[in-house]
Amino acid sequence: MGCPYCRCVGDECGGENFSLPLVNRAVEVFAALSDLYSKDPEVIDIDPLYISQELVMRFYFEENDPPTLTDVGRAQDLIRQVER
């Protein structure tokens, strides 16, 4: 019988541990930064390192899984393009 989660056959996948795929991390970072921007518009001009830390301190992300500086920088760029 095939797995109801991923269509593999037999004991290949361990479908009981299946979870739905997460939203792309860059999208999560953009959403969090957009929300933070609505509260503090200066965040688009601050170094991504500090913004990444701020997102963790404000509980948008777990301390052991902070957003990458690349994702934060790209989110800042997108917000700048839209707002300016």
Taking the CA atoms of the chain, what radius of gyration do you get in angstroms? 18
In whole angstroms, what is the distance from residue 10 CA to residue 38 CA?
50
**What predicted TM-score, i.e. pTM, was given to this entire model?**
0.72
1-54: pLDDT as tens digits: 455 555 565 555 655 554 555 568 999 999 999 999 999 999 999 999 999 999
**Pair of tokens at residue 84:** 């300016």
Per-residue model confidence (pLDDT) at position 7: 54
Which pLDDT score, from 0 to 100, does residue 84 have?
Answer: 75
Two tokens, residue 72:
């934060």
Q: Report residue 4 as tokens.
A: 């109801």
pLDDT value at residue 6: 57
- In the DSSP assignment, the letter for residue 54 is H
